[in-house]
Structure 1
Amino acid sequence: MTGPRSRASASGATPAPAPRSARGAAHGHAPLAPAARYVWYAVLLVLGALVGTAGSLVQAAWFPLGLLLALLGSTALFYGARRATGNQIGVAAAGGGWLLAVVLLSFGRPEGDGLFGGGLGEMVFLLGGMAIAVMCATMHRPVQPTA
């Protein structure tokens, strides 16, 4: 083999990894400007609130399958936020919106009406959703092939 890889490995020198911005550009991803990044975080916050609200309604309506559907929707949001932003802040923004919506919906009104009845399904949705958010936030970054 006479390619550039065989010469570099034969001499014992390893090529230095490309900077993060160059790796992103090489794979078709342009680095985001700070203003665009903040817009992404705001969109993920709103999406988290919407998914949390929808999940709260669905998990109680169709109990066994609704709970699974609500947790799958939350998982898709958190994992998608991780992949879209490439960092934990995106998951934190989506998880913050999700948690805010779920907590606000769990408060009862003075008349005694509340969306959560305090049963097993509600607790599994709340604790399971938080656990999924933490798992997605602590995932390793996917390995990027070098050019």
Structure 2
Amino acid sequence: MKSSLLLILSLFAILASGLNVAPLAIGSSCSLFPDISNVQLQVNPWPIIPASPTSCILTGSLDKNETIGSVQVGQEYKSTWTNNLITVNAFYAKGQTFTFNYNMNSPTQSGSYTEKFTVLQSSTSNNILCWQFSFSI
């Protein structure tokens, strides 16, 4: 009982202090050899709310000089993929932070979904990074 009360009071103290707590890591790499490291994905709201605007922000640090041509955003539902190719065409120096903002309306049909972001190199369309996350409605 004392430990539960101590935990509750500790959480209250953290919240009252205004301390910014980092969000949970969302997603995982689907790349064998990514050229972007320190990848983070923020999804808001999380968990996803059916039929609501959803913001996805993917960030990472370039491991070498790279021109990013596009990002392919794919969504899988019941083994069917829907893809959207978004043009970027921007040069990033080694160590520079890449930020990709994507807004979508979350699905309405119940079931399991996978959202995948594939960052593609400009001249060859090679996969620089693949990052995916799953959610259920």
Q: Place the TM-score, normalised by the shorter chain, in its bin.
A: under 0.3
Structure ranking higher in helix proportion: 1
The structure in which a higher percent of residues are strand is 2
**TM-score, scaled relative to structure 1:** 0.24
Between structure 1 and structure 2, the one with the greater Rg is: 1
